[in-house]
Structure 1
Amino acid sequence: MLSSRKWIWFGVVISVLLGSAALKPEAASACSCAIVSNVQEAKQSSDAVFDGTVIGKKTASKLFASSSADPVTWTFQVNEVWKGKVAPVLSVTSAESGDSCGYEFREGQRYVVYARKTGETLDVSLCSRTALYSAAGQDLADLGVGSVPPQQPAAAADSQSGFLLWWLLLLAAAAVLAAMIYYKRRSKKQTF
C-alpha cells in the first residue's frame, strides 16, 4: 500500500506528464535555403514564372494530427507569364508552413511566383524567389515584359453560347406550340 507521501509524488508526476502533453511545443524552423542570387538563375531553374493574385486556398482535410509539411493548394488568377505553359487560372502547391519551407500566401494578394514542376503539380517553396508583387520591383525589371496567359478558346466559348441558344429556341418553340394547342381547343369549345 502506498503511503500518503508517495501518493502526493505520484500525483505530482501524473500532473507534470499531463500538463506537458497539453503544452504546444515552440515551432522550430527546419527550413534552410540556398538563396538563388539572381532573377535569371531563378527563372532558368523554374518551370513556371508568373504574376498572379491568390483567389483560393485548399487544405487537405486530415482526420488526425496535421503537420507543417502538409500540402496546401493555392489558386491564382494569372496576370502575366514569363515562363511555362500557364493557364489564366492556375493552382500551385506548397507546404502549409514556412517551418517546412512552405510559402504562406495570402488570399487577395498579388505575387511574382517561381514554381517547379513535381510530378503533375507546380510547387512553390520559401526557397524560391517568390515574393509579393509590391516587393518584387527588381525581379519585374529583370524579367521584362511577359505575355498574357492564353484565354479560353473561342470555340469553347462559342459552343457554350451556341448550346444555350439552342435551348432557348427549343423552349420558345415549345411555348408557341403550347399556345397554338390552347387556342385551337378554346376555339372548338366556342363553336359548340
Structure 2
Amino acid sequence: MKAGKFIWASLIFAVLLGSFAIAPEGASACSCAFPGSVNEAKLNNDVVFDGTVTGKKEPVRLFSRSSATPITWTFEVHEIWKGKVSPAISVVSVQASESCGYEFKEGSRYIVYARNSGNSLEVSLCSRTALHSAAGQDLAELGVGSVPPQPQAGQPSGSSTLLGWVLPIVGLGVLIAVFFILRQRTKRRPTSM
C-alpha cells in the first residue's frame, strides 16, 4: 500500500511540476474577422480618409493604464472618400492592439476607416485602416476622392474666434474700470451745504 501512495504522490507531483514547466502561449484579447472588401469597409464605416498623424493625446492617469485606455490621434487630411471631414480631424483608438486598438505612429500617413460613436470617430485594429504605403488595393478601388474644405477668406479661423472672445472681455474690463474711476471722483467732490 505504501508503494501505491508513493506512486500516486509522485504522479501528482510530476503533473504539477510539468504544468509549471509548460509555458502558456501568448494570448490576444482582440479577435477580428477579416475586414472584407474595400467597398464593404467603406459601407460599414462613417468616414474614410487619407491623412498624416500630426499629434497624439493620452488621458492623464494617476495610477495605472490599461490596453483599453483611449488615445486621441490628430490627422492632417489629404483626401476624403466618405463623410464630412475637415482639414484637421481627430480619431480615437484604444491604447494597444491587445484591445483591438490601432497603434498609429506620429508623422506616418494612413488610409483611415472610422465609425462615428456619437462622441467621436473611432478606429479599431479590425477596420481596414492601414499605412498609406501598404494600402495600394484600397487606393485603387477607392479611386479619386475629394479634398477637405479649406476655410474661405473672411471666415473666422481659430485665432479670430479667440479674438472674438478676448475683445469683449477686455471691453468689459475697461467699462468696469471707468465705472470705478467715476465713482471715486463723485465720492471725492465736496458736497455744498
Decide whether the 8 Å contact of 1:27 with 1:99 is kept in 2: no
Aligned counterparts of 2:94 and 2:132: Cα–Cα separation in 1: 21
Q: 1:35: how far off?
A: 1.5
Aligned length: 139
Return the alpha-carbon distance in structure 1 between the equivalents of residues 63 and 156 of structure 2: 44
CA–CA distance in structure 1, aligned partners of residues 88 and 29 of structure 2: 32
Q: Which residue of 2 aligns with 1:68?
A: 67
Task: Report the CA distance between 1:154 and its aligned residue.
Answer: 2.3
Match of 1:95 in 2: 94
| Structure 1 unaligned blocks of 5 or more | 1-25, 165-192
What are the superposed Cα offsets for residues 62-110 of structure 1, whole Å, 9 maximum, x if unpaired? 1111100000000000000000000100000000000000000000000
The runs of 4+ residues in structure 1 deviating greater than 4 Å are: none
Residue aligning to 1:14:
none
In 1: Cα distance, 2:45 partner to 2:36 partner: 14
TM alignment of 1:129-148, pairs within 5 A: 129-148=128-147
Aligned equivalents of 2:96, 2:103: Cα separation in 1: 6
Q: How far is the alpha carbon of 1:157 from its aligned partner? A: 5.4
SS at match of 1:154: coil
Q: CA separation in 2, counterparts of 1:133 and 1:59?
A: 24
Partners of 1:72 and 1:127 lie apart in 2 by 16
Alpha-carbon deviation of 1:53? Answer: 0.1
C-alpha separation in 1, matches of 2:125 and 2:137: 18
Q: TM-score, normalised by structure 2?
A: 0.67
Q: Tell me the CA shift for residue 119 of structure 1.
A: 1.5
Q: Report the CA distance between 1:114 and its aligned residue.
A: 0.1
TM-score (norm 1): 0.67
